[in-house]
Amino acid sequence: MIGGFKNKKYRYLAIGACIALTLMFAGPVGMAASPVAYKGIFERFSVFSAVGYEAFLGICMFRGIDE
């Protein structure tokens, strides 16, 4: 992520990685802070953030990362 912020060409990849990492951390924090009935909702933050970031990278690669 640090390299992405240093190079303006790939800044969008670094921003996407920061968003995904924040959501990955929000999952366990939310599971610890929420009642038992809502733990599944916060667990999905971790799972879907990884899947969403992989989809984002796939779209970037399909479009051409250097363009």
- pLDDT tens for each residue of the chain, 67 residues long: 777 788 888 888 889 899 999 988 988 888 888 888 888 888 888 889 989 999 998 998 898 876 5
Q: What is the pLDDT of residue 66?
A: 67
In this structure, is the dihedral angle defined by the CA atoms of residues 34, 41, 21 and 10, taken in order, positive or negative?
negative
Are residues 26 and 47 in contact, defined by beta-carbon separation less than 8 angstroms? no
Which amino acid does the sequence have at 13? L
